[in-house]
Every structure is written in structure tokens, then in C-alpha cells.
Amino acid sequence: MKKGWWRSTAVGTGMAFAITLATLEPGMALAQDAPGVSANAGDIDLDALLARMTVQEKLGQLVQRAAGGEQSLNSNMKEDELAAIRSGSIGSYLNGGGAAELREYQRIAVEESRLGIPLLFAMDVIHGYRTIFPVPLGMAASFDPSVAEDHARVAAREAAAIGVHWTFAPMVDIARDPRWGRIVEGAGEDAYLGSRMAEAQVRGFQGNDLSRSDTVMATTKHFAAYGAAEGGRDYAGAEMSEATLREVYLPPFRAAADAGSRSFMTSFNTLNGVPATGNAQLLRDILRGEWRWDGVLVSDWRSIAEMLVHGYAGDRADAGKLALEAGVDVDMVADIYAKDMVAAVRNDPALMARLDESVIRVLKAKRDLGLFADPYRYNVPAREQEWILTDENRAKARNAAEKSIVLLKNDGDLLPLAAKAGRVALIGALADDGAAQLGPWHAQGDPQDVITLRTALQKARSGVSYTPAVHVRPDGPASDIAAAVAAAAQADVVVLALGEHDRQSGEGHSRASIELSGDQLELLRAVAATGKPIVAIIMTGRPMAIPEVSELADAVLYGWYLGVEAGPALTRTLLGEVNPGAKLPASLPRTTGQVPVNYDHLPSGRPGQPDPDELSSRYIDIPVGPLYAFGYGLSYTDFEFGDAVFGAREIPAEGGSLTVSVPVTNTGKRTGDEVVQLYMRDPVASTSRPVAQLRGYKRVTLAPGETRTVTFTLSAQQFLYWKPGAGWTVDAGEIELMVGNAADAIHARATVEIIGSAAGSIEPAAIETPVEVR
């Protein structure tokens, strides 16, 4: 057996203390306790360890570099990096992978450095490591937090199998501008839905016990208001009131913090002129102060250095000081903490105290991950074969994909395709583009792992022809619309794959136009001219403007980027083996110029009117409202909502609660899912309030003829709003409650009376509404 040894400096004695280990297999504890380091990771004396550290070693714990170079996804580090590990100058790496490879770097850290402090290895595992699930915006469409939690659990196990301890997910930025490329990574436009998806992913990544070697530390990002980038341009600044920040953009972060997210990441943007990475009010006062969160705060890639470009810091040392004072613990790849902060810390006792706080937080994370007890617990090469891309993982990815597909239109019940539907013409290059289905930020996802729509549909059904016709990638062959027309003419029904390829969405990929690109509209018109029934499938990472698709297609499925099981999920939905039940997590605009078109806007003194000649809040060249609203989605069956029953019509502002119950019946002939949605409105307040705000939802499955009653329990705290000068407040007066199956499809409404007034201390959208189904 291979022997190893672990060495630490004896705390408080100045003596070198060595411990000889037997084989360092995962789960094996230290042979005996070293001073300040116990076989039980929870017993390590971090303060004593901190006292032994030099300034350079302290700063080293806050330094994160990219394994093998800034843009590398491999684990081949050069000798100068290994020397930096030996000197204790590095605390963590990102983008490295491989259980055996990372074990060697960990060995150098714990056996060849003075203090033997283990490294953290991190990676952006956003919607899967190798088993790629739907993009997060797609999973949010499921309106089912268990989908998000399952994805994170699978992703955590796969990432842990290759030696990763720390993922930079979930991304919980609320986004109302679909031009922004990174809307694909979040849960859409709503703070309540975003909060539920945020906390579910934290639970999935971290599990119930972070010391288990199949968990990873979650990083909730990007704090904060990154999704409000001006004009939807990535990295642009955000300008907003404190009320908007707290009511819309912060709740998912608060929910994640309350769920125990051990790490947060700052955002690239400025917020009201102050870069988030140096924003002490945001990071220290709100996050660490008001919320009492004490996890590891990491900068985004070079965002500390980018404060110089923002014009907020005069030099690198100034930028580092601003970040450290604001509470940023880890400097991602900018190397400012490593190279520019030694003198500043030595000469400033207050800054030294901030440094010590940050070091302790990083050491706590390493302790709680179990790395002091067993630094090699994540380095078991056999797990790479046993835990990654398993049949079970693929089944969970397929379930997530099936639950994420939104049915937008189904004229004449064209879907599901009947066995007697005849010949099917599958048209569009996206139908056979595995890379597109992986979406952006797909870690080590491989297009070869993807089962495409073409593969799955042709396997499931005979008589399916395939014509690429139009390639959306810029390096694709020329369009052949004539071939598509010929294929449609010979078919009984057309399945038309439209949308975006994966590089049209994601970080740095904002779009000025969110209409279909290239020759896709021409293709749609030409195929429609044949008169054959059309099922359009939109494959994308954002809400797109598709009014012509909605007009010309007989049925429309919004299919997102669905991951490795995209083809089977879409095929089973087309053929009726799965009944779609997802809802839009963000409204679809009619045109790019209409954005933002989020449902929870403030009322206008002159609300939009149907007549464009009437002076009202609308665009004269398009109808009022979105093409499809938040929460919208059809089914292959029908549902009927009964009258809502209220447990009370009055609720005390201090500590009060009430129930809202509504019966829902499946009046159709197929088993299906409906998402029951509860909205509120405060009609009179000290500031104008949104026309509606989601305060609860539940996805329920109903057999034909079955009725189930969904009961929501609302607390008075969920009616809080941010009052300038006063903070979180519940006012006396009426609250309108509405139940429906989309933001613009309300089936029951009533008013309740708030008795008295009260103050609060939590973002109301971050509070989960208990729901009972019976």
C-alpha cells in the first residue's frame, strides 16, 4: 500500500509535528490528534491555527487561481504553481478536475506546506457536471422545486466524484430583460419562484451533512442585481431604488442564505454606481449584518481588479482593501490579495482584523467539508465510473426535462400526435444538434451524450423524415428551404425545430434582438404555406419574441435547452406518453421593443387600453400585454377551478395568518398536472404597489374527473413591503388575493382585511407559503 504522511506545525510550541498515516483512503481519520487538528474535523482549533499563520499564509487562504491557467479546464499545473502550493500561497483552485490528479495537488498542500492546510477545488457546475439537466430557466418552468433539488443532488455527486468540493451555483439573479444572456442561468422574472428554486438547489448541492463526500459547497450568485443590467447588456450597471432591490432582487439570496448556502459570489456590475465587489452596504451591512450570514464570500472572475476599470479604485491595493473591508473573502484569479495586500494589511490593524475574519471563514468551510479530518475524502478514482452519467442520473435528467416543457398552443388538439397521424416531417437543424441541448455553462457535458430529438423520434416512430433546412450556427451550411417545403408536402404533419444554438445564450451573449435569427422565419412561412399542420418546438435559453410562430403553427412547445435527455423528453411529450404541465417562469414579449414585460409591474394612472388611439400606457403598434404571460402553460387535458374558501377575512398584522383553499378538477380525459398559483395585491399603500405578486403555488397531478383542494397558509409577514424611511412594513387595510393558473388567468379573487400595522425584518418573497393538497 502507498504510504503518505501529513505534517502540521504544533500550535503554540513552534515545534514541527509529524503524523504518519496508513493508506489515506476516504473516510479514514488521522492516526492521532495533532495540536489544533483533531481526527474529528469539528474539533480543530481554528483560532490556534490562525495564530500560527504569517500574513502571507493568511492572504494565501484567500487566493483562488485557475488550475492550469486562466482559461483551462484541465488539471495540469506547472512547477511555479506547485511551489506556490508548498509555500501556502494558494487557498483554492477552480476549473480543475480528476480525482487522482487533484489528490496529488492536495497531497502537496497537506504534506509539503508548512501548515498542511488542505486546498479547496471549485468548478462552475450549473445544471449538471456530465449528466446535463435542462438549463435552470427551463427547470424553473417546472414550478417544482424537487426538480431543482434532484438536479443539484446529481450534480453534486458527479462533481464530488472528480474531486470538486465547491460549485459556483445556484445562480439566483432575477431577470426581467430577456436580451440578457444570463437569464438562462436563473429562475426568471419572479422573486417568489426564484426563492423556491434557490433554496431547493442549496439543499441539493449541500445535502443534510456537508461533511459527506458526495456533497459540494453551494455558491449563491451573483450578489446582487446583476440581472438588472442596463439594456440587458452583460456586465452593465444597474440603477434602482432600495425598494426594488429589496423586494425583487434580494429575496432569492435571502432564501438561499436561510437554507444554509455556505458561499456567496459577488456580481460584476455596479449597483447605483458602486461595484458590488466593493459595496460594503450590500455585502457587510445587508448580507453579513441584517441577514447574519457568515459564509465564504468569493469575488467573481477578476471582479476585484475590475473596480479599477469602474473608476472606483485608484490602484490594485486600493481595490483589494475595498473588497476586504466589504467582506470579500476569496479573490478569484485577480491575484490582488496575493500580490498587493501584504503591506496594507501589516500597516492597518483594522484591515488585519478583517483579514483574520476572512481566513477563519475559509478555514471553517474546509473543516466542515471534512478536509482537515481527511483531505483525500473526495479523491476516489473509482467514483468517476460509479457516480457519473449513470442510468439513474439520466432518468432524473429525463424527468426534469419532461417537467420543464411548456405547451403554449394546441389548436384542434393536434398534440399529442396520434398513432394514425401518418408521416412526420421533422425539419430544422436544431432537432439534431446535441451541443445546443447542452446549453451554456454545461461543465463537462459532451454532445455525444445527448439523445437528440431526431434520434429519439425516429427510434420511437416509423415514417419520420428529417431535413435540416436551416442551420442557426454561423458556420453551418447554406439554408435549403426548398428541401423543407418538399419534405412538408410529402408529410401529414410537420414538427419544426426553431430557436437558438447554445452560443446565442449565456454569459457575454446578450442579444439586441430576441426574435428568431437567420432564415428561420422564412422557413416557418414557407412550411406554413404548404397547409400542413405544424408543431413548432422552440429550443432556447431565454424568453423569445415569437408572435409569428404563435400565429402560423398549430401547436407550440417551448422546449428550452433540455440536456442529455432532450430527445426522449420531447418525443414522449409529442406522442402523449407525457402530458406537459410546465408554466412560463418569465413572460414572452411580442417583440424585443416591448421588454421588459414582467407581470408584476406597477399600475399606471392610465392603464393600457385596447384602442391604440386612446391615450394610455401601451405601444400603438402591438396589442397590450405579453404574447404569453408569466405562469402560462397548457395541458392535454382541461382543469376547472372552484370557488376559493378563506379561513378568515381578517388577519392581525402582528403574528396573524389565514388560509386560502381552492378546489381544482380535471375535467378532461387524460391525467395531467396543473399549477395552482396564488397572487396578492395591496391596492392602497404609502407607495404604489405591483398589480400582482406571486405568494404561493403548487403543482398537482389529477386523474380524469378527480378533484383536489389546494390550501395555502399565508402569514401577515408575506404582505410586507419596503417603505422608504421605515423599512419592512405591513399596513392596515385591504389585501386582494387571487388564485389562478397564470398571472393573466385568475379564476377566484377576494379581499381580506389587515388589522393594525407591524414592522418586519425579512423579504416577504423569501418566505415559503405552506401548501396542503387533499
Give catalytic residue positions. Answer: 300
| Full strand arrangement of the beta sheet holding 92-94 | 166-167, 120-123, 92-94, 63-66, 331-332
d(CA 14, CA 268): 43
d(CA 591, CA 614): 21
d(CA 362, CA 541): 34
Exposure string (b/e) for 531-563, b if CB count within 10 Å is 16 or more?
ebbbbbbbbbbbbbbbebbbebbbbbbbbbbbb
Count of residues making up the chain: 774
d(CA 134, CA 403): 10
d(CA 40, CA 36): 11
What's the CA dihedral at 756, 760, 766, 772 to 10 degrees?
Answer: -40
d(CA 429, CA 473): 9
The C-alpha cell 412550411 sits at 527
Give the number of other Cβ atoms within 10 Å of residue 518's Cβ. 15
Tell me how far CA of residue 93 lies from CA of 62, 341, 514, in angstroms. Answer: 11, 20, 36
Q: Are 179 and 128 in contact (CB under 8 A)?
A: no
> DSSP states of 179-242 as a string?
TSGGGGGS--S-HHHHHHHHHHHHHHHH-S-TTSTT--B-EEEEETTGGG-GGG-TT--B---H
- The beta strands (E) that lie in 515-629 are given as 534-539, 555-558
Q: Cell for 595?
A: 421588454
Three-state DSSP state, 408: strand
Tell me how far CA of residue 684 lies from CA of 103, 617, 721, 752, in angstroms. Answer: 61, 20, 12, 13
Three-state DSSP state, 19: strand
**Helices and strands of the chain, counted as H and E runs:** 23, 31
Cα–Cα nearest to 673, from 636, 632, 642: 636
The residues pairing with 557 across neighbouring beta strands, listed in sequence order, are 407, 537
Neighbouring residues of 484: CB distance < 8 A, sequence distance ≥ 6: 425, 427, 467, 469, 470, 523, 526, 527
> DSSP states of 28-53 as a string?
PPPSSPBTTB-SSGGG--HHHHHHH-
Tell me how far CA of residue 221 lies from CA of 148, 261, 677, in angstroms. Answer: 16, 10, 27
The residues pairing with 34 across neighbouring beta strands, listed in sequence order, are 37
Q: Is the dihedral of CA 542, 547, 548, 553 positive or negative?
A: positive
Q: Are 265 and 283 in contact (CB under 8 A)?
A: no
Neighbouring residues of 381: CB distance < 8 A, sequence distance ≥ 6: 99, 100
The residues pairing with 537 across neighbouring beta strands, listed in sequence order, are 497, 557
Q: Are 627 and 594 in contact (CB under 8 A)?
A: no
Give the number of other Cβ atoms within 10 Å of residue 12's Cβ. 12
Amino acid at 474: P
Q: Calculate Rg over the CA atoms of the chain.
A: 27
